Amino acid sequence: MTADHRDIILIGYSGHALVIFEILTSQGFQPVAYMAPKSEENRYLNLPYWGWEQDQNSISRLMENGYFVAIGNNKIREQVSHYVYDMIHFHPVKAIARSAHISPSSQIDPGCVVGAGAIIQPGCSVGIGSIINTGAQIDHECQIHKFVHIGPGSVLCGNVSIGDGTFIGAGSTIIPGVTIGRRAIVGAGSVVLHDVPDGVKIAGNPARILP
C-alpha cells in the first residue's frame, strides 16, 4: 500500500463504523468494504463484506488498501489493532472530522478519531487508536494515551493526563492537572476533581470511586 492510498477497509460495522464512514469520506477517503467476524447488516451503510481480518485472504486484502479499526469498545479496538499491525506492519489512517479544530502544535497518532466539533488545543498528544468524540474539548497540554475514549461533550481542562484504555463518559469534566490512570471508567456527566487510580470506576459530581 502506498502512503497516499485512498481506498479504505473498515474493520467493524456497528454504529461507530457509520460515524467513521462519514468522517473518512469527508476527508476524501473511499471506504470500499468492511471486515468483521461475520457478515452484518447496517441499513445506513452499503459496503461489501470482505471476511474476518484474521482470515488469510482478508489479511492479503488489508495489505493492498488502507484501513481503519472502527470499533468503539476500547479493549476490542486495542486487540484488533495490535493483531492487524503485527500481520501487515503499517498503521491505520486517521479519521478527522472537517469541523474539528486541532492546534498545529498538538500530535494526533494513527488510528485516532476526532469527531465533529471537537477541539484540541495547543501542546496536546493523542495516542494511537483513541477516540475524541463529538464536541469534546481538550484544553492545552493534555496527554491522552493509547486506545482511550473521550465521550461526546466531555471537557478536559489543561494539563490532564488520561491513561491507556480509559473511558471518559459523555459530558464529563476533568479539572486542570488531574491524572486518570489506565483502564479506568468515568461515568457520564461526572466532575473529576482528584487523580484517579488504574482500573477503577468513578461517577458523580464530585466523582467518587464506585464499589
Residues with catalytic roles? 140
Q: Are 141 and 135 in contact (CB under 8 A)?
A: no
Q: How many CA atoms are closer than 13 Å to the CA of 36, on its beta-carbon side? A: 17
Q: Which three cell numbers stand for residue 72?
A: 468503539
Contacts of 3 (CB under 8 A, 6+ apart): none
Question: Side chain identity at 52, as an amino acid letter?
Answer: W
Residue 35 DSSP one-character state: E
3-state secondary structure (DSSP) of residue 202: strand
Q: Are 172 and 149 in contact (CB under 8 A)?
A: no
What sign has the CA pseudo-torsion 27, 31, 37, 40?
positive
Question: Side chain identity at 140, as an amino acid letter?
Answer: H
